[in-house]
Amino acid sequence: MNKFIKNIKISKDIKNSIYYKFRHEFLYNSNKIEGSTFTTESLALLLDKNVVEGKHTLDDVQETVNSAYVFDYIIDTIDEKVDMRYIKYLHSMLKHNTTDYERGFSGASKKIPNTILGTNVQLAQPYEVEYKLENLIS
């Protein structure tokens, strides 16, 4: 096991450890990419004290909380094989109790084409996603 991952795992139960620093930075950056409105300070309040500060949609709050559970689960299962079942389970955890969950998009490959606004980036079409993911993880 990678030394960094080992240190992350063993420091999970230690307050203010590298685990919590890495978790906070990872969640802030990955959620920001997805459009989260949390600042680093408001994210820390949410994760550490269960306090929501500022104006956020319910989906943003729920998905941010869920992302912390997903992060913890990934660290706990870091030695498991990554396959489609695992990826879909992580996605279902992330989207639990969100609008996407209610629409049946949780734990499944995308069903609707999407884009990244302001770019010419070509994203995988819904029918391509599972094939491309399988190629990536095999």
Domain map of the chain by residue range?
Answer: 3-79
Among residues 66, 111, 72, 116, which one has the least CA distance to residue 91?
A: 66
- The mean pLDDT value for 102-121 works out to 92
pLDDT for residue 1 is more than 80:
no
Side chain identity at residue 63, one-letter code: E
What pLDDT sits at residue 105?
A: 94
- The mean pLDDT value for 87-95 works out to 97
Tell me the pLDDT of the chain averaged across its residues: 94
User: Could you report the per-residue pLDDT of 35-76, keeping only the tens digit for each?
Assistant: 999 999 999 999 999 999 999 999 999 999 999 999 999 999
CATH no. for 3-79: 1.10.3290.10
